Amino acid sequence: MTIQIGDTLPDVTFTTMTESGPEPVGNDFFAGKTVALFAVPGAFTPTCSAKHLPGFIDKADELKAKGVDAIACTSVNDVFVMGAWGKSSGAEGITMLADGNGAFAEAVGLTMDGSKFGMGTRSQRYSMLVEDGVVKQLNVEGPGEFKVSTADHMLGQL
């Protein structure tokens, strides 16, 4: 079942790359703050690298000016790939949350089958606004689309 507006995020641990190496990130990341979370099917993939992540990088200050405390990107990739993608993209202000085994994507009911492209089970493309661990906005893209999960669309929701 797909997560809905008003639902609390599932208790799933992500991993993020830090100066000290990989570190676990639990639900405390979302506690007491407003987080713009967006998910992509894969790091370094065309739309994700050319549009989705750069849009949130470019609009980070505007999102924060409208009350967003943190911006996070998740993908079913390992922490090393997510760390390298964030670094090569200049995403210093974005927390890159690796969902290496797809546990979060599965728990929120937003997986997709990327087998046709040799990618296996991945996350769908979406964005959500999360306040203190509760989903306030949810924007899930249709297959092959890139419209409602953008930073601009989220800005319009704030």
Catalytic residue positions?
48
Place of tokens 């990327």: 114
- Largest Cα separation within the chain, whole Å, is 40
Sign of CA dihedral 130, 124, 91, 56: negative
DSSP state of 8: B
Structure tokens at 76: 């079913």
DSSP state of 77: S
What is the rounded CA–CA span in Å between residue 28 and residue 51?
29
